[in-house]
Amino acid sequence: MITVAVFKWVPPVARGLVRDLRVRWALEEAGLAYRSQPIGHDEKNAAAYKQWQPFGQVPAYEEDGLRLFESGAIVLHIAERSEALLPPDPAARARAVSWVFAALNTVESAVQPLVEIDLFHGGAAWAKERRPEVAKRVERRLAELAVALGERDYLEGRFTAGDLMMASVLRLLRHTELVAGEPKLAAYQARCEARPAFQRALAAQMADFES
């Protein structure tokens, strides 16, 4: 059985955004059963857990003795087992993997500083001064992404792990109107989140917090 480590509790503002959602979504798309293992904040820095996840974060993944960490690495591991996430054509697979890295390295690296300012430092003077520049960088990345998407439903024409990661990153901006400012991206994100596998993954994450 696949086990995914998740947090027992996070503040309400973070629920539906914690990165184990990406792994749950991938498993749902691939049709692979799993169980969640809630980790308390007193456990995440314990030596036993850090042998599994060296930085005390989630998600972490275990299956048949294989332990993995980092959401992108885990999603790619799952995707290798399912054509629902990576197409069989080698060139198409390579392009899909490129979008996974683009989501994490190019788009999320721009988005995350804005999220941290808004959700954790909004009242600080330095944050108010810094935010316009950070938001402008996000807007530029979103505009570039919208051009790359074009008129397609998905980044490579069909849903792949690249879309899963990109939509997950765009979801971090749900407290802003930045994605709505790019109508193609807003429709793209809604399309990705309407997938039954995403809905099941989100419901599972929220159920764990509620329990």
* pLDDT recorded at residue 105: 98
Q: Which residue has the tokens 């629902």?
A: 84
Rounded CA-CA distance 89/211 in Å is 42
Domain ranges in the chain are: 2-84+197-210, 90-195
Query: Phi, psi at residue 62, to the nearest 5°?
Result: -140, 135
Which tokens go with 8?
A: 């027992």
CATH number of 90-195: 1.20.1050.10
Burial of 132 from C-beta contacts in 10 A (0-12 / 13-18 / 19+): exposed
Rounded CA-CA distance 154/6 in Å is 28
CATH number of 2-84+197-210: 3.40.30.10
Which amino acid type is present at position 27? L
Cβ-contact 165, 199 below 8 angstroms: no
* pLDDT recorded at residue 122: 79
Which amino acid type is present at position 14? A
What are residue 68's DSSP bridge partners?
61
pTM summary value? 0.96
* pLDDT recorded at residue 159: 98
The full 3-state SS of 65-82, as one line of letters, equals CEEEECHHHHHHHHHCCC
Angle of CA points 172, 23, 52, to nearest 5°: 110
Q: How far apart are the first and last CA of the chain?
A: 21
Residues 184-204 have pLDDT tens digits of 999 999 999 999 999 999 999
Query: Phi, psi at residue 140, to the nearest 5°?
Result: -65, -45
Least Cα distance to 82 among 132, 5, 30 occurs for 30
Indicate the helix (H) or strand (E) that contains 206.
Answer: helix 196-210
* pLDDT recorded at residue 169: 98
* pLDDT recorded at residue 123: 83
Average pLDDT along the chain, 211 residues, taken 10 residues at a time: 96 95 98 97 94 97 98 98 96 98 98 94 90 97 98 98 98 97 98 98 96 82
Indicate the helix (H) or strand (E) that contains 35.
Answer: strand 34-39
